Amino acid sequence: MRSLTFRGVSVRFGHGSHAMTAVDGVDLEVPPGTVVGLVGESGSGKSTLARAAVGLVPPSSGTITLGDTEPGNPRRFAPRLARPRHIVASPQARRRRQPVQMVFQDPFSSLDPRMTIGESIAEALPRRRDRHAEVRRLLQLVDLDPGRSGDLPTGLSGGQRQRVALARAMAAEPEVVIADEITSALDVSVQGAMLNLIRDLQRAHGIGVLFISHNLAVVRYISDVIAVMYLGRIVEIGPAADLLSAPRHPYTRSLLAAVPRIGSTLDDESAADGGGWRADILDAGPPDPHQPPAGCRFHPRCPIGPLAFPERSDCIEVDPAADAPARPHRAACHYVTDAPADRSVGRT
Amino acid sequence: MHRRQWMAALRTPVGAVAAGLVAVLVVLAIIGPAIWGDAAGTTDMGSINAPPSAENPLGTDALGRDILARVLVATRTSLGLALAATAIGVTIGLVLGTLPSVLGRRSGRAVVTLVNFLVAFPGLLLALFFAAIFGVGARGAVAAIGLASAPAFARLVQTLSATVAGRDYVAAARIAGVGRARLVGRHILPNIAEPLVVSATTGAGAALLAFAGLSFLGLGVQAPTYDWGRLLGEGLSHIYINPVAALAPGVAVVTAGLAFALFGEASAAALGLRATRAPVTPRPPVEGLAWAGGEDSDVGTPPEDVVLDVQNLTVAFGAGAGAVRAVDGVSLTIRRNEAVGLVGESGSGKSLTALSVAGLAPEPAVVAADRLHVNGCSVLGASDRQLATELGTSVAVVFQDPATSLNPSMRVGRQLAEVVEEHEGASRSAALAEAVQRLRSVRIPAAQRRATQFPYEFSGGMRQRAMIGMGLMGQPSLIVADEPTTALDVTVQRQVLRLLRDVQRETGAALLLISHDIAVVSQMCERVAVMYAGRIVEELPVSDLMNAAHPYTRALLASVPDMSVDLERELATIPGQPPEPARRPVGCAFAPRCAFADEQCTAEDPPLAELAAGRHAACWHPQTTVAVPEVAPSRMGGH
């Protein structure tokens, strides 16, 4: 098992004045046997990063490598990803195992409606072994009745379809699985079972998982490491327990404060956050990704930034990403020291 | 493969006529030349250009040949050439259409450009051009018409493939390492085959007409062979002597063209049926649907400040014995200033309940209730006009997906202004000013400028705020919010929820909040109603949620991970699936998934009974332990 490593990965769409940088210089590692949770609002680039990892979109710069496969190695992994057309175009690549697999958000569009679930799974099998037995084994692996391999996806519920999608990903014997919002289309009663399943599979097979979700409670439950994305960048990353109990970046803190909890009211989270944050600053809408703000990208919404403290002009002028590696949690914020040392949220 | 749909299509008038015509044409094409070939070829110098007679029902031509026989014999040639031309067009179209998916990006784009260029030419012009190149004759005409029809077909294939190629299952196959050509063959073509078949069928009709035209002009079939177009040309020169000689081949062309077009229509209908129709399942009979018209009667009188008063609401699909009750006997009252949450899983009937309350139940649904009043006015008996004027102003609805609930082609300000114009008869400019004011009140920055923008220029949260602003235009007394924040991120969700709550407090409106997220409901509402399989199974104050009595409510609460759930333990799950409305079990609908179920549960349906003041549960074994029980960690597939 090898680590999936993103080094300075950027993904740009469009040309000229219409260009948009969806992912901007992301450094991230998914070690074997580890679940890395990736959170952030829609449009922050989480899904684009996921699609780049499996070669569905080409990164415009940076490298995505599996293990320490250096450039120059004939079996290197990254160049194939950088030009995703060749992943499927080259006949040699076709029957080779694809070590990075992905499970999609919508189980109703991720299975071909004309193919039986057995055929869908068999398609991802790397070699022509005993396909029938393999499909049965994989269906059992995701707690589905192996006798249903001849069923079409129409006969299955959302949770069952998502299990099939997971079985298809496991069929390729992956080293890393990208799970892009895999529970957000499922009912809450099914969501728990799906989370238990992916956690069991990950532990049993020692695979790395990049788990993308906007649901912090779900990410907290499943992740060892949590990375927070904002406008194409990772603004904070750290071990899950640390990050949740002592978030450094104000964006992470505002995300944690916004998580709805039973027994809380809409007013008390921001108050509980201690800072007396001005709701009007947080309520500012997300900025236009075509024209990201200068300096710190979060400054137009930041409760501890120039809007609240006019003297903090460096937030507008200096990009905090440059010094991020030196700060705790690699936080992209000039004023991380303002972070509260402790929060009630944690790994209890 | 799907015989039932095809049989159903055959039973429609269009399908029956199409099938009949096609059958006649096919039979004629097969047996025609054998039976009438001699008569059609025999020259009779004794009766040249004869009018219709007993011997020659349609008269004879310039060489004394029987015209009826010739028309019948020409069926094979006419159909054969039309089908050959269609085959050429479809083949070239398929190749050109799928090439962009198989080739790399650059060469793919070149093919797309070529097709776009070719589509710009009118088909008939292309056909004449190709006919000139290939020379006069049947072979040239087939090639000409085939080539002329290819670009349009290629464009259709391209468009359909592009749609399918964007689906996740194609992406998944690419990740699995499936090659491009295989991708087209296995995933793209099978999923676009139906519209292509329909299009090819109608294309065959067009080819038939085009061929008749070319032959008529003398560019198609040459003597001694003949098709309908040529017969038409020959007959036309004698139209004043024997009009039937020209009419007969004309009728044949029109009939055959019609047969193809209708056949295409019928197959489109059959395939369309298949796409939309759910599998037919046996359904238990539903009693007491005799009042299915939607009459309501007065049962008691509600207190003064009750805004929404629902008694025994039933929403059924289908009629008579096959009716399925998706909502089955829901009763709910909401007072002024009160917020009530409705929670449940998908299919529990919570959205249907909300839509029925707003008079927006989807078309085939039969809504009935003992009482369904908003502000004392009945929603059920009301005409569409009454609904529009009374409900339109007193009920505001906020839907889940703000991207689809605003008209994408209309400026946001105009859409809001329309509401004021409609309900208050305000002038255009006054209404627009009011709309800007509303956008400002839902905290949209730079409201004046934003009002002139289109919905796509708004972010998701901003659209939802605009929707709430739109609901406020009519000063509602009831706000129905159906999963208003499900599509939004947590920070935006909180903003929208706060706005909704502020608006509700300011206007004193009643709020019915539908959500699958109990935490959201607990933040917004005073009371919660939990729905399962079309019924309310528990109703309780939010503050009592942790002491819920119904095992389903407890299981639902336990299965949602929150920020304090124990990471070392597996998440609690509810085994099995909720029953489909058509397959509600006897007794308690939750019994098959319930840890506390016994014989009584599977035999008798528990009524919604009062446990304490303000607390109701439909359960034979209401739980009374204080904390949410330890649900055994079980890993169940959703079998």
Contact state of B172 with A165 under an 8 Å Cβ cutoff: yes
SS3 B198: helix
- CA–CA separation, A249 vs A335, rounded Å? 8
Which long-range contacts (C-beta less than 8 Å, at least 24 apart) are formed by B7-14?
A: B8/B270, B8/B273, B9/B266, B9/B267, B9/B269, B9/B270, B9/B273, B10/B266, B12/B266, B12/B269, B14/B262, B14/B265, B14/B266, B14/B269
Contact state of A262 with B518 under an 8 Å Cβ cutoff: yes
Q: Chain B within 8 Å of A96 (Cβ-Cβ)?
A: yes
The one-letter code for the residue type at A62 is: G
- CA–CA separation, B541 vs B341, rounded Å? 10
Q: What is the pLDDT of residues B39-69, one digit of tens each?
A: 777 777 777 777 777 777 777 777 777 878 8
How many CA atoms are closer than 13 Å to the CA of B145, on its beta-carbon side? 29
CB < 8 Å to B520, chain A: 260
Which tokens sit at B628? 């949410």
Task: Detail the DSSP E strand segments found in B369-496.
Answer: 371-374, 377-378, 395-398, 478-482
The one-letter code for the residue type at A55 is: G
The one-letter code for the residue type at A315 is: C
Do the beta carbons of residue A232 and residue A21 sit within 8 Å?
yes
* Third-level CATH fold of B526-639: Rossmann fold (3.40.50)
pLDDT-derived band at A276 (thresholds 50, 70, 90) equals low
Q: What is the pLDDT of residues B113-131, one digit of tens each?
A: 888 888 887 777 777 787 7
Cα B538–chain centre separation: 34
B187 → chain A, closest CA residue: A112
Contact state of A41 with B187 under an 8 Å Cβ cutoff: no
Q: Compute the average pLDDT of residues B73-89.
A: 88
> What per-residue confidence (pLDDT) applies to B290?
31
B491 → chain A, closest CA residue: A258
φ and ψ at residue A209, rounded to 5 degrees: -130, 130
Contact state of A216 with B490 under an 8 Å Cβ cutoff: yes
Q: Which residues contact A124 (CB under 8 A, 6 or more apart)?
A: A98, A101, A168, A169, A171, A172, B172, B176, B177
pLDDT-derived band at A340 (thresholds 50, 70, 90) equals low
* CB-nearest partner of A160 from B173, B523, B638: B638
* CB-nearest partner of B501 from A171, A261, A266: A266
Which tokens sit at B443? 């905290």
Which tokens sit at A314? 């460096």
* CB-nearest partner of A261 from B519, B524, B635: B519
Which tokens sit at B143? 């090639």
CA of A219 to nearest chain B CA: how many angstroms apart?
10
């299955």: which residue's tokens?
Answer: A156
Q: What is the pLDDT of residues A231-245, one digit of tens each?
A: 899 999 999 999 999
- CA–CA separation, B571 vs A59, rounded Å? 37
- CA–CA separation, B199 vs B526, rounded Å? 57
Answer yes or no: is pLDDT of B85 > 80. Answer: yes
- CA–CA separation, B570 vs A193, rounded Å? 9
Q: B539: closest CA among B531, B528, B550?
A: B528
SS3 B13: helix
Which tokens sit at B527? 């009371």
CB < 8 Å to A265, chain B: 523
Answer yes or no: is pLDDT of A346 > 50. Answer: no
Q: Chain A within 8 Å of B524 (Cβ-Cβ)?
A: yes
- CA–CA separation, A79 vs A194, rounded Å? 33
Q: Which of A3-12, A38-47, B234-243, B404-413 has the lowest mean pLDDT?
A: B234-243
Give the DSSP letter string of B493-558.
Answer: HHHHHHHHHHHHHHHT-EEEEEES-HHHHHHH-SEEEEEETTEEEEEEEGGGGGG--SHHHHHHHH
Q: Class for domain B59-276, per CATH?
A: mainly alpha
Picking from B188, B271, B401, B490 by the largest number of A CB atoms within 10 A of its own CB, the best residue to mutate is: B490
**Is it true that the peptide bond before B224 is cis, omega within 30 degrees of 0?**
yes
Architecture of domain B284-524: 3-Layer(aba) Sandwich (3.40)
Contact state of B571 with A115 under an 8 Å Cβ cutoff: no
Q: Within 10 A of A175 (CB to CB), how many other CB atoms are there?
A: 21
- CA–CA separation, A304 vs A338, rounded Å? 8
- CA–CA separation, B313 vs B565, rounded Å? 37
Q: Which of A76-85, A171-180, A244-253, B125-134 has the lowest mean pLDDT?
A: A76-85
- CA–CA separation, A152 vs A169, rounded Å? 18
Do the beta carbons of residue B315 and residue B353 sit within 8 Å?
yes
Parallel, antiparallel, or unpaired for β A208-212 and A35-39?
A: parallel
Contact state of A260 with B491 under an 8 Å Cβ cutoff: no
Q: Chain B within 8 Å of A88 (Cβ-Cβ)?
A: yes
Identical fold, B284-524 and B526-639: yes
Which long-range contacts (C-beta less than 8 Å, at least 24 apart) are formed by B275-284?
A: B275/B194, B277/B5, B279/A154, B279/A155, B281/B580, B281/B582, B281/B583, B282/B582, B283/B318, B283/B321, B283/B322, B283/B323, B283/B324, B283/B582, B284/B582, B284/B583, B284/B584
The one-letter code for the residue type at B395 is: V
Do the beta carbons of residue A238 and residue A247 sit within 8 Å?
no
Q: A5: closest CA among A23, A32, A24?
A: A32
> What per-residue confidence (pLDDT) applies to A79?
37
Q: Which residues contact B274 (CB under 8 A, 6 or more apart)?
A: B2, B5
* CB-nearest partner of B565 from A98, A115, A221: A221
Q: Chain B within 8 Å of A268 (Cβ-Cβ)?
A: no
CB < 8 Å to B176, chain A: 98, 101, 123-124, 168, 171-172
Which long-range contacts (C-beta less than 8 Å, at least 24 apart) are formed by B275-278?
A: B275/B194, B277/B5
Q: Where are the domains of chain B?
A: 59-276, 284-524, 526-639
Query: ipTM of this model?
Result: 0.80
Answer yes or no: is pLDDT of B434 > 80. Answer: yes
> What per-residue confidence (pLDDT) applies to B378?
81
Q: What is the pLDDT of residues B374-411, one digit of tens each?
A: 888 887 766 666 666 766 678 888 887 777 778 888 88
Q: Which of A62-66, A182-186, B214-218, B354-358 has the lowest mean pLDDT?
A: B214-218
Give the DSSP letter string of B45-113.
Answer: TTSTTPPP-SSSTT-B-TT--BHHHHHHHHHHHHHHHHHHHHHHHHHHHHHHHHHHHHS-HHHHHHHHH
**Chain A / chain B CB contacts < 8 angstroms:** 225
Contact state of B169 with A55 under an 8 Å Cβ cutoff: no
Percent of chain A topping pLDDT 90: 28
Gyration radius from chain B CA atoms: 34
Contact state of B572 with A165 under an 8 Å Cβ cutoff: no
Beta bridge partners of B539: B529, B616
Q: Compute the average pLDDT of residues A292-297.
A: 87
